[in-house]
Chains A and B, each alone.
Chain A
């Protein structure tokens, strides 16, 4: 028996409409804050929105690590796990990349080996959860700082640039932008295939829907947790790798090149509605906003955080449809 199909098409585009609506709400939020701070809201907001589009190569180079760290967040999320540790995984991935590149090893070895460091961090979080019952959010946050200082120490002690003391050695042969872009796209597609076409992804999604159902289906909860967190760590590590290998070329002791890649990836993952394909437009949008924020500071002297306001309000607005659904159930049941 089948019911009418009429509204199926609408349902498909629903997430996209919600994300667009969230963008509008975010822009309005930025508008208000800009006006409240005494800057010309129209000029500031249009600068934020449009100036990122001026240099596409730069735009993509910012968005690639973000897309990867977003994947690092959403893959475990589909299993019901919050990988807040993307940030630390990116640090350690970046460090490993610097080290491997400093040995003179070229493509593809850095992008194969360096992410393993992130995978190890993810694996540790998963193992702690399975065998010691440690909530992954808690261990992730702690691990982020542990890795921050470990990387900082290692850079200043062993991988220091002989001329600039607080910086690491530079990568002499960077990955060309086009190759980095193709790699990123391939990874997005790979994650999509893993999630939707393989038994592994199937188990991950069943667990995200109901851990009891996973047990019933014959899948192992422990294995799914560890595998999902390890894969998340691998992707987080790759985000850091690409950040130094294709974008910045070095890291410093304050991690300024990588700092925020993981956390912003969480926002990108949410704005992409936790789907690998959705991550692509979301990462480009967020990168444009980030670039716009910097341009804003240069041109109008306004704080670049105005862009963060827009992103923040967007993420909040995205949770609104859910809240609205609950509310409408209550009011009109």
Chain B
């Protein structure tokens, strides 16, 4: 590693992977509750398991983003981190706060947790993905501000590259849009309208800037292609992302009480959202094929290419599948949405964080790349998890298509639960594929503990 303060990234990456394991375990619990309804009831009701599953996802991705930023920014800025001590303090605060929140979810009834944590002062809890108690939300803001301060100061005192500017913009956007989670009017339509300013403008907006910056950084490192070339394509791709994605928020405003013109605005712009993802795929493959060096870390290259392909499939293609208003009329709020959500999150954000970890972790451990043996195991983890998520998505899509047909299109529509009984087989298949994902994750983690001949320690 070029700057010794980059080392603060390491605990962030380790925590990210640890929480990732938790996320998957709770995913498996939920998957089983889909088929064996009373599994673990009443110890862990489905809503609690889901909250843990999605909140852990968000938190570990945030750990991943922060670790990536702490690794990337000193190297891009060519200077030591402004305050490695602050970074470590914030790490522990965030980890402890996150752990306490999860313990709170599991140990207390949610209503009790709400009462104990001041939800009566400012009601923000109980909305999808924003279930965190008020104090946790405030904690997230504090940690984010301290983190942004640290990163921004580092960039300001050093070299300002396109990659670090884009990353910074994405991270600031992340913090700014999170503030809308504190706005929870009684008016349900307004509540939902601005709820999407957090959720959509995160995942189809500012997070994509982070994704682009991290991917560009790794591509420069592993391919040796000119920074100038990679950075200008980065700008082009994220321009396309925001041109389509910001107004694309409209695809959430079809059926929640918002005016009907959103059906047109949302359809037109979100129909174009696959384009930047496609551009990113082409970009990643192009840069790798134009590479000027054979970087010993082939696993990192694989993750980078995987991010390109899977984000296009998950976010681009599976998003397009149900984004047009006339289609969405039937698919809104079904397993189709779940299918899209799983592959999009994995393809775009899980993979880019794992890509960054794959590139940076060997260097943080004092070598340019892991041994061939360890890399082969890591790639096994890659393929197991990636193939598993593809099949999870396919099975959920199958479940969704049948659900839409039986419950919403057929001449004699079935009730919700009667429909669920009919599509049980897909949920079973999804659960077994989930087990495959877990095996992939275990293999991935095992790769960190495999020795063998290390590659030269030049970084």
Is B a genuine binding partner of A? no
B-side residues, CB < 8 A to A, are none
What is the interface of chain A, defined by CB distance below 8 A to chain B? Answer: none
